């Protein structure tokens, strides 16, 4: 009889969930958490944007509050049934970084909110909120964040855990440099508020910390005036050195006469050349240029404004047309709403989705390259590797940024060099499953070339599988990074998909 009562008590206390892959996760009923093992939800959480890996979790939780996440992590850290936990936003990682085998996925998109302060200097944003929704909410009040990624349909928390880079970085820094305060739940389940003054060790650790020290649940984001329009330019170059000199000149200009956004693309004759930005009468000429030269470089800039009659717009246009050395006649300008400019990649996404191409594998390679070695990188990688591929599919981005816009106290890594300018490289290729090994081999060849040539690159959105590679990646920051792990997530429960610890 006593044994029967014990069995009834155990059944009452524990909610035992068995996932579709046979993995058990035991959650006490007192946690008041619903762990979903629905096959469709498990399947969605097993894949990410990269479409390269499949990692099956034991279950997925959709928290109704940050307290739900805290209780889950407290139980995982203190209970006998230890399991790992991964926070997942839009799953925009490339190699399963937001995954957890047999553990619990926390669906952060269940927690969304944007509250603009009365003085409109900042917004408190729930970590599961998409950047596009932050833009919509803040723009209603005439303000917006000052730095952006190229793609806005990703979550605030996920972006800040990596860094957040795009065409505004040279002016305002990466997204991690534009955060005033965070709410974080550590691997011990502690709910802590942190900033540069309050719990700074945690604050600097989680910004670019790849989810290793805690789950960001709220971020206080810097705001400024939201312009209404954007003058959007693209210019073509056939000479790489001229192209980079003009880019570097533009990022050194003062804000009042300079541009607000700057990136660069590379058109390769063995790839798809998108000429749609240019007038129909020039599109065949652009395509012919790429065939003739093999490589054409595209300088892309934008200037934000409110009133088209302001003299500053004329000054910027004069600067571009009179001081830059692009190919004569090959400049095109669009005038678009500020929102439409920032959300431009979503338009391309919809096109790719309609063609069934968005779901292809994405073996992307993102790098930071020192300015002093950018010509070596171009000659060894762009000319001797990418141009010699059988075919290239996707975008190749190359643009400079000012190194002083990064805060070295943060976990986010850039090359540890004494140079003022670094280049951001995005080799954003897609591949069919059949061609995937070839593209991955090309990426490995690029990394090998950089190492053999002594080019001190750092990867962004990287995925290493050995501790030695991670130690090399974090360089002088590794000791602090490792200590923070022991301090905030001693049982190493968080973000196992990064394969760091």
The strand pair at 85-88 and 104-107 is best described as parallel
The single residue of 248, 263, 300, 489 carrying the catalytic annotation is 263
The single-letter DSSP state of residue 253 is S
Instruction: Note if 140 is an active site residue.
Output: no
The single residue of 48, 92, 246, 489 carrying the catalytic annotation is 92
Q: At 378, which helix (H) or strand (E)? A: none
Is 241 among the annotated ligand-binding positions? no
Instruction: Tally Cβ neighbours within 10 Å of residue 449.
Output: 17
Instruction: Tally Cβ neighbours within 10 Å of residue 70.
Output: 19
Is 429 among the annotated ligand-binding positions? no
Is 90 among the annotated ligand-binding positions? no
Instruction: Note if 92 is an active site residue.
Output: yes
Is 93 among the annotated ligand-binding positions? yes
Is 216 among the annotated ligand-binding positions? yes
Rounded alpha-carbon distances, angstroms, from residue 5 to 9, 11, 12, 14, 377: 6, 10, 11, 14, 71
Is 144 among the annotated ligand-binding positions? no
Which pair of tokens denotes residue 335?
A: 């005038």
Is 113 among the annotated ligand-binding positions? no
* Among 415, 430, 332, residue whose Cα is nearest residue 371: 415
Is 275 among the annotated ligand-binding positions? no
* Among 134, 191, 139, 140, residue whose Cα is nearest residue 164: 134
Is 247 among the annotated ligand-binding positions? no
Is 161 among the annotated ligand-binding positions? yes
* Helix/strand/coil for 361: coil
Q: What share of the chain is helix, strand, coil (3-state, %, to 5)?
A: 35, 25, 40
Which pair of tokens denotes residue 356?
A: 């069934």
Instruction: Note if 263 is an active site residue.
Output: yes
Which is it for the CA torsion 141, 142, 145, 151, positive or negative?
positive
* Helix/strand/coil for 443: helix
The single residue of 26, 113, 124, 150 carrying the catalytic annotation is 150
Is 91 among the annotated ligand-binding positions? yes
Residues making up the annotated binding site are 87, 89, 91, 93, 97, 150, 155, 161, 165, 216, 460, 495, 498
Which residues are catalytic, by number?
92, 150, 263
Residues making up the annotated binding site for FAD are 87, 89, 91, 93, 97, 150, 155, 161, 165, 216, 460, 495, 498
């Amino acid at each position: 009889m006593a044994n029967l009562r014990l069995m009834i008590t155990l059944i009452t206390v524990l909610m035992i969930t068995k996932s579709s892959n046979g993995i058990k996760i035991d959650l006490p009923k007192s946690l008041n958490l619903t762990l979903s093992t629905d096959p469709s939800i498990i399947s969605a959480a097993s894949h990410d944007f990269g479409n390269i890996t499949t990692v099956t979790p034991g279950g997925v939780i959709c928290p109704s509050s940050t307290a739900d996440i805290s209780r889950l992590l407290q139980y995982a850290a203190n209970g006998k049934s230890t399991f790992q936990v991964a926070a997942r936003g839009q799953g925009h990682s490339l190699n399963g970084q937001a995954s957890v085998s047999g553990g619990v996925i926390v669906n952060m998109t269940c927690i969304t909110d944007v509250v603009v302060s009365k003085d409109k200097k900042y917004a408190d944003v729930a970590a599961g909120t998409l950047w596009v929704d932050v833009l919509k909410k803040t723009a209603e009040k005439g303000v917006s964040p000052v730095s952006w990624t190229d793609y806005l349909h990703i979550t605030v928390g996920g972006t800040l855990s990596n860094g957040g880079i795009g065409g505004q970085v040279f002016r305002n820094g990466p997204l991690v440099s534009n955060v005033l305060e965070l709410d974080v739940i550590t691997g011990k389940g502690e709910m802590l508020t942190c900033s540069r003054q309050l719990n700074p060790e945690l604050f600097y650790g989680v910004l670019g910390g790849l989810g290793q020290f805690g789950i960001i649940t709220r971020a206080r984001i810097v705001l400024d005036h939201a312009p209404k329009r954007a003058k959007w330019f693209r210019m073509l170059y056939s000479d790489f050195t001229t192209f980079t000199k003009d880019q570097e000149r533009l990022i050194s200009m003062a804000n009042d006469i300079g541009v607000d956004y700057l990136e660069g693309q590379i058109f390769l004759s063995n790839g798809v050349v998108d000429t749609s930005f240019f007038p129909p009468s020039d599109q065949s000429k652009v395509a012919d240029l790429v065939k003739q030269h093999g490589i054409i470089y595209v300088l892309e800039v934008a200037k934000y404004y409110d009133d088209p009659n302001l003299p500053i717009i004329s000054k910027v246009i004069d600067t571009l047309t009179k001081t830059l050395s692009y190919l004569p006649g090959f400049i095109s300008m669009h005038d678009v709403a500020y929102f439409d400019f920032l959300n431009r990649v979503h338009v391309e996404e919809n096109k790719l989705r309609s063609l069934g191409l968005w779901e292809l594998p994405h073996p992307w390679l993102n790098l930071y390259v020192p300015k002093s070695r950018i010509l070596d990188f171009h000659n060894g990688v762009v000319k001797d590797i990418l141009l010699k591929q059988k075919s290239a599919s996707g975008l190749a981005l190359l643009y400079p940024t000012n190194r002083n816009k990064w805060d070295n106290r943060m976990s986010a890594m850039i090359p540890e060099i004494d140079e003022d300018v670094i280049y951001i490289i995005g080799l954003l290729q897609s591949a069919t499953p059949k061609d995937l090994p070839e593209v991955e081999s090309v990426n490995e060849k690029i990394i090998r070339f950089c190492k053999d040539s002594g080019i001190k690159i750092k990867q962004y959105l990287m995925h290493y599988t050995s501790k030695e590679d991670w130690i090399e990646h974090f360089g002088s920051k590794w000791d602090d990074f490792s200590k923070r792990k022991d301090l905030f997530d001693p049982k190493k429960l968080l973000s196992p998909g990064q394969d760091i610890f």
